Amino acid sequence: MDALRPMTEADLVDIIAAAVADRVPLAPTGQGTKAGIGRPVQHPRLELGGLGGVTLYEPEELVVSVRAGTPVDDVVALLAAKNQELAFEPPRWRTPDGRASRGTIGGLVAANLSGPRRFKAGAVRDHILGVKGVSGRAEAFKAGGRVVKNVTGYDLARGLAGSWGTLAVLTEVTFKVLPKAETEMTLAVAGLGFARAVEALAGVLHLSVDVSSAAHLPAAGAEGSFAEEARTLLRLEGFAASVQARAEVVARHLSGFGPVERLEAEASGQIWADIRDLGAGLAVGEALWRVSIPPAAAAAFADRLAGLEPRRMAFDWSGGLVWLRLDGALPDLGADVIRAAIAATGGGHATLISGPAEARGRIAVFEPQPPPLAALSRRLKDQFDPAGILNPGRMWAGV
Amino acid sequence: MTLVQMPVPDAATLAHRDEIIAGLGRILPKSRMVVDERGLKPWESDALTAYAQLPLVVVLPETTEEVSRILAFCHAHDVKVVPRGAGTSLSGGALPLADGVLMSMMRFNRILDIDFANRAVVAQPGVTNLGLTRAVEHRGFYYAPDPSSQLACSIGGNVAENSGGVHSLKYGLTTNNVLGLEMVLMTGEVVRLGGKHLDSDGYDLLALMTGSEGLLAVITEVTVRILKAPETARAVLVAFSSSDNAADAVADIIAAGIIPGGMEMMDHPAINAAEDFVHVGYPRDAEALLIVELDGPPVEVDDLIARVEAIVKARGAVDCRISTSDAERLAFWAGRKAAFPAVGRISPDYLCMDGTIPRKAISEVLRRMRELSADYGLRVANVFHAGDGNLHPLILYDANKPGELERAEAFGADILRLCVAVGGVLTGEHGVGVEKRDLMGTMFNEVDLAHQMRVKCAFDAKQLLNPGKMFPELHRCAELGRMRVHAGQLRFPDLPRF
Ligand SMILES: Cc1cc2nc3c(=O)[nH]c(=O)nc-3n(C[C@H](O)[C@H](O)[C@H](O)COP(=O)(O)OP(=O)(O)OC[C@H]3O[C@@H](n4cnc5c(N)ncnc54)[C@H](O)[C@@H]3O)c2cc1C
């Protein structure tokens, strides 16, 4: 079957009904920027680009409703014109074949992948107020609303974030938006090793300075986009006077670790955009892991990876998010070593963001779940998609 | 009992009460069970006291193992279970069932781990909300969501209700501050979600659990994020001669890119009730009072205070006081924090409503509420989280006057319908429970509700955990599971294919 392209919600209901009747699995797809994530599936694409457009934007209410096929860039531009933003900093990744990012809102929510400010401002899911969608039962439903405080029923709107199109096809998402900060500044120290860097980052969290992003970029290899030397970065955002005052406090703290460099607004914005998009643009033959761990475990976690000889590592979220680039020829792409390191240093999860398709079919792309949790996930899938037509096998084999 | 009817108790369960108690007695010592009628009496209500029901039996487990065994036992014998924290729910979420075991989680009262390096605290669910902050404040940290009931309510109850507080405007609700849970399913299976790391990989069951009102699983451990307290906080107390002006000022502050630590509003009746109670010098003749708190480094707070002052003056504020000390800031808050008990003094009974509306609708909804108040012949006082449009109209009534409770409930239902009609929702933080159960249809159609109930079916297929709450009708999971897709009716063959 070729790709299907619904132009209305009614089309979508019909397509899913037909797929249920014929037991044809579908792969809901925005622009395919994340098609390389997850277990490889060969289902016909259900292209959602036709379901685009902003249905409501009330800047003074800090709310925007967007159809799922709308490119994230368009929404970002619309909000920027009113000096507002999606505070979780949506990453803008390219497609696996290198085309520029035109990733959609639906894909953003389905993947729940957030940028550096997630550390302070929350993830994609934290900014979702409501959704509309069609489940694998070919029924259109809504959940949530358009106001920030809402506990009317289960929080299904947030609950669908990160479900990779396996429970329902989203048609519209309502987000809370926030005013952009007046300005930002990044303070950087060069040349720190892991342990010292984690110490520098952790210490700042004990000061009342409201850091909005905190990262450590170890020294890069020759082909890296980052400087030769390791850099430890802390970002402050807000009203100008406040940023200045807090920068003094942070600089004093960091001066114990080395000379402190200040990146003013533009340079600061650029470096965090680069960090935000670390998941993009991977060399062929490499594997990329995204690992979430307790931030203070970062150095201990890194120590346990020595045998893998990572080509590149980067630590965002004050150490809580680790990007790991490995040789794509490793038999299990390092899965066992990485997951053992997570288990030994305080828990978390590793997701394979990119790697050869053959390997993605063999190893667990998402963190394996203990039996009662896996069974619960499967029951949820069966409730929303009893015929198993929405992206079956994308997250877990047979689910 | 008034408008909302609870499901008819199961006769077989009632008939087997002795055997059920004996079975539970093999899991728990007698000292941690309540079986006699006098002992059961204090458990008959939560804070929605208009509803009362003696439970079948009360159990007080202390370990996850005990919770697991009790649930497995009840699952095997088809006995319903109602989890209960501190019993401060305002929506009847912890209302007992005549044929149900009431499981109090308040023996789970220990903080298990304070991890400053990871900015996380692991606590048992019976620890109070304020208990979390108390445990970390010596190092300048706090737990951000601060419901007014924080001295009493449990963190387990907060997760179950997705509670908010004054500071949620800037720092989020419970759902934005919980990192992990341990929970026990009705089958007795123990499941852990999240931990000290961020985000879930796999379905976001943490999101579904937060606000699940005790219907999905019993929470036995909670990991929360703690924050470093801001360096300073100052408050502005502003009086207006019209609530329209106050509402406009709220909108202007947000539009100026300012997200205050808290932004609360009170109307004329609430101002006076509070002033009578705490005597902090609220302007009695004001129609509306706004409290705006700014927090952060001193330079930022000073800067923002000046901006807020300019905005409220431009909107015709008749009085604007700026706190110059922490004592003064707390005095500004004292009346707001005591608003519920203050209203309790001027009326024998009151119902506390909890709708949320878009901010722009505040003055319209307040005006309609005054009309409804005249129609129903019942007074209403308003205190609310203006920054996020979360209203708490307090409807004053006297339960001893025949028909007044029913009138108050009808008035409340009209207010909530009004909230939905202007683009808002039935409940912002108190939960659906029994109170708003039968109004769910004003916000959700049958298909919407069926999808929510299917979440329930994934967690609790026998529907034994806290039934009769949240959903207006109980549908069997088998019935909800049936697919109603008919290939004959499809428009699909005409669709363009690429
Ligand atoms: C004076 C007053 C002021 C209040 N102010 C606010 C406020 O500002 N903001 C706000 O959001 N709320 C407020 N509330 C409401 C109430 O305090 C909150 O809903 C609170 O979170 C309930 O916690 P609890 O421990 O008392 O739970 P309970 O009332 O005992 O239970 C509430 C619900 O949670 C479930 N539950 C409890 N513990 C568990 C568990 N361990 N596992 C699974 N389910 C469980 C119960 O089944 C029930 O459905 C107020 C209440 C009062 C009386």
Output the pLDDT for position B8: 93
> Between chains, do A3 and B119 touch, taking CB under 8 Å as contact?
no
Same domain, B457 and B364: no
Q: Which residue, B73, B104, B135, sits at the end of a domain?
A: B104
User: Helices B362-376 and B404-421 meet at what angle, rounded to 10?
Assistant: 160
Which of A154, A317, A377 should we substitute to test contact with B (largest number of B Cβ atoms within 10 Å)? A154
Q: What tens digit of pLDDT does each residue of B326-360 get?
A: 999 999 999 998 898 999 899 999 999 999 999 99
Same domain, B321 and B360: no
For chains A and B, count residue pairs whose Cβ atoms are closer than 8 Å.
307
CA distance readout (Å), B238 to B15, B172, B383: 61, 24, 14
CA distance readout (Å), B84 to A14, A380, B129, B296, B399: 44, 25, 15, 37, 26
CATH of the domain at B17: 3.30.43.10
> Between chains, do A167 and B203 touch, taking CB under 8 Å as contact?
yes
CA distance readout (Å), A361 to A34, A37, A181, B136, B429: 16, 11, 43, 46, 43
In a domain, B215, yes or no: yes
Cβ of residue B43 lying under 6 Å from some atom of ligand 1: no
Predicted ipTM of the assembly: 0.96
Q: Name which residue sits closest to atom 8 of ligand 1, judged by CA.
A: B147
Minimal C-alpha gap between B17 and chain A (Å)? 31
Q: What tens digit of pLDDT does each residue of B251-297 get?
A: 999 989 999 999 999 999 999 999 999 998 999 999 999 999 999 99
Q: Name which residue sits closest to atom 15 of ligand 1, judged by CA.
A: B89
Minimal C-alpha gap between B145 and chain A (Å)? 13
pLDDT, averaged across chain B:
94
Cβ of residue B352 lying under 6 Å from some atom of ligand 1: no
Same domain, B87 and B99: yes
Same domain, B466 and B396: no
Per-residue pLDDT for A224 more than 60? no
Cα atoms found within 13 Å of the Cα of residue A357, Cβ hemisphere only: 7
Tell me the pLDDT band of A310, cut-offs 50, 70 and 90. confident
Which of B71, B139, B201, B420 should we substitute to test contact with A (largest number of A Cβ atoms within 10 Å)? B201
Q: Name which residue sits closest to atom 2 of ligand 1, judged by CA.
A: B149
Same domain, B301 and B360: no
* CA neighbor of B181 nearest in space, from B216, B223, B152: B223
For B389, the token pair is 């449009």
> Between chains, do A380 and B455 touch, taking CB under 8 Å as contact?
yes
Output the pLDDT for position A187: 98
Same domain, B367 and B283: no
Q: Could you tell me which residue, A206 or B317, shows the higher pLDDT?
A: B317
> Between chains, do A296 and B228 touch, taking CB under 8 Å as contact?
no
Same domain, B118 and B217: yes
In a domain, B359, yes or no: yes
Contacts of B64 (CB under 8 A, 6+ apart): B182, B184, B190, B220, B221
Minimal C-alpha gap between A295 and chain B (Å)? 6
Cβ of residue B412 lying under 6 Å from some atom of ligand 1: no
pLDDT, averaged across chain A:
92
B25 contacts B18 by C-beta, under 8 angstroms: no
Percentage of chain B modeled with pLDDT above 90: 92
Q: How far is the CA of A58 from the centre of ligand 1 (A)?
A: 32
Tell me the pLDDT band of A225, cut-offs 50, 70 and 90. very low
CA distance readout (Å), B384 to A161, B148, B253: 30, 12, 16
CA angle in degrees (0–180, nearest 5) for B386-B388-B393: 50
Q: Which domain holds residue B468?
A: 446-490
Output the pLDDT for position B493: 47
Minimal C-alpha gap between A354 and chain B (Å)? 15
CA dihedral B415, B420, B426, B428 (to 10 degrees): -110
Q: Which residues pair with B232 in a beta bridge?
A: B296
User: What mean pLDDT comes out for the span B426-452?
Assistant: 96
Output the pLDDT for position A101: 72
Q: How far is the CA of A195 from the centre of ligand 1 (A)?
A: 42
Q: How far is the CA of A68 from the centre of ligand 1 (A)?
A: 35
Pairing of strands A45-47, A27-29: parallel
Ligand 1 atom nearest to B94, measured from its CA: 48
B147 contacts B138 by C-beta, under 8 angstroms: no
Output the pLDDT for position B164: 96
User: What mean pLDDT comes out for the span A353-359?
Assistant: 89
Cβ of residue B165 lying under 6 Å from some atom of ligand 1: yes
CA distance readout (Å), A57 to A75, A85, B60: 10, 12, 49
For A18, the token pair is 């037909």
CA distance B282 to B259: 24
User: What mean pLDDT comes out for the span A241-252?
Assistant: 96
Residue A219 class from Cβ within 10 Å (0-12 exposed, 13-18 middle, 19+ buried)?
middle
Same domain, B49 and B156: no
For B144, the token pair is 């951000």
* CA neighbor of B66 nearest in space, from B44, B42, B33, B18: B33
CA distance A209 to A237: 10
A17 contacts B485 by C-beta, under 8 angstroms: yes
Q: What tens digit of pLDDT does each residue of B440-482 get?
A: 999 999 999 999 999 999 999 999 999 999 999 888 999 998 8
Output the pLDDT for position A309: 82
Cβ of residue B166 lying under 6 Å from some atom of ligand 1: no
Task: Name the residue facing A148 among B388, B451, B489 (closest C-beta).
Answer: B388
Task: Name the residue facing A296 among B118, B175, B440 (closest C-beta).
Answer: B118
> Between chains, do B498 and A2 touch, taking CB under 8 Å as contact?
yes
CATH of the domain at B123: 3.30.465.10
Output the pLDDT for position A53: 97
B208 contacts B141 by C-beta, under 8 angstroms: no
CA distance readout (Å), B132 to A124, A254, B87, B109: 27, 30, 18, 11
Same domain, B119 and B222: yes
Per-residue pLDDT for B436 more than 60? yes
Which mutation among B80, B148, B175 tests ligand 1's pocket best, with the greatest number of atoms within 8 A of CB? B148
A17 phi and psi, to 5 degrees?
Answer: -60, -45
In a domain, B84, yes or no: yes
User: What mean pLDDT comes out for the span B218-224?
Assistant: 98
Out of A123-127, A329-333, B101-105, B416-420, least confident range: A329-333
Q: Which residue, B85, B104, B123, sits at the end of a domain?
A: B104
A125 CB neighbours in chain B (<8 A) are 204, 207
CA distance A53 to A74: 9
Ligand 1 atom nearest to B159, measured from its CA: 21
B162 contacts B428 by C-beta, under 8 angstroms: no
- The domain locations on chain A are 9-179, 183-276, 286-360
Q: How far is the CA of B47 from the centre of ligand 1 (A)?
A: 9
Which CATH number is associated with domain A9-179?
3.30.465.10
CA distance readout (Å), B360 to B255, B270, B388, B416: 12, 21, 11, 17
Cβ of residue B163 lying under 6 Å from some atom of ligand 1: yes
> Between chains, do B201 and A17 touch, taking CB under 8 Å as contact?
no
Per-residue pLDDT for B431 more than 50? yes
Same domain, B379 and B415: yes
Q: Which residue, B168, B198, B228, sits at the end of a domain?
A: B228
A152 phi and psi, to 5 degrees?
Answer: -80, 95
* CA neighbor of A310 nearest in space, from A290, A335, A327: A327
Q: Which chain B residue lies closest to A396 (C-alpha atoms)?
A: B202
* CA neighbor of A20 nearest in space, from A392, A397, A398, A300: A392
Number of folded domains in chain B?
A: 5
In a domain, B441, yes or no: no
Which of B196, B199, B212 should we substitute to test contact with A (largest number of A Cβ atoms within 10 Å)? B199
Q: Name which residue sits closest to atom 16 of ligand 1, judged by CA.
A: B89
The answer to whether domain A286-360 has CATH 3.90.25 is no
Cβ of residue B86 lying under 6 Å from some atom of ligand 1: yes
For B149, the token pair is 């009931």
Same domain, B274 and B249: yes
In a domain, B495, yes or no: no
pTM: 0.96
A385 contacts B454 by C-beta, under 8 angstroms: no
Output the pLDDT for position A1: 46
Q: Name which residue sits closest to atom 49 of ligand 1, judged by CA.
A: B93
In a domain, B279, yes or no: yes
User: What mean pLDDT comes out for the span B40-52?
Assistant: 95
Minimal C-alpha gap between A249 and chain B (Å)? 11
Output the pLDDT for position B110: 98
Q: What tens digit of pLDDT does each residue of B408-420 get?
A: 999 999 999 999 9
> Between chains, do A178 and B259 touch, taking CB under 8 Å as contact?
yes
Per-residue pLDDT for B487 more than 90? no
CATH architecture observed for domain A183-276: 2-Layer Sandwich (3.30)
- Comparing A183-276 with A286-360, is the CATH topology the same? yes
Same domain, B323 and B222: no
Minimal C-alpha gap between A221 and chain B (Å)? 28
Cβ of residue B387 lying under 6 Å from some atom of ligand 1: no
The 3 state secondary structure assigned to chain A is CCCECCCCHHHHHHHHHHHHHHCCCEEEECCCCCCCCCCCCCCCEEECCCCCCEEEEEHHHCEEEEECCCEHHHHHHHHHCCCEECCCCCCCCCCCCCCCCCCEHHHHHHHCCCCCCHHHHCCHHHHEEEEEEEECCCCEEEEECCCCCCCCCCCHHHHCCCCCCCCEEEEEEEEECEECCCEEEEEEEECCCHHHHHHHHHHHCCCCCCCCEEEEECCCCCCCCCCCCCEEEEEEEECHHHHHHHHHHHHHHHCCCCCEEEECHHHHHHHHHHHHCCCCCCCCCEEEEEEECCHHHHHHHHHCCHHHCCCEEEEEHHHCEEEEEEECCCCCCCHHHHHHHHHHCCCCEEEEEECCHHHHHHCCCCCCCCHHHHHHHHHHHHHHCCCCCECCCCCCCCC
CA distance B64 to A145: 35
Tell me the pLDDT band of A286, cut-offs 50, 70 and 90. confident
Specify the residue for token string 């505070």.
A87
Number of residues assigned to chain B: 498
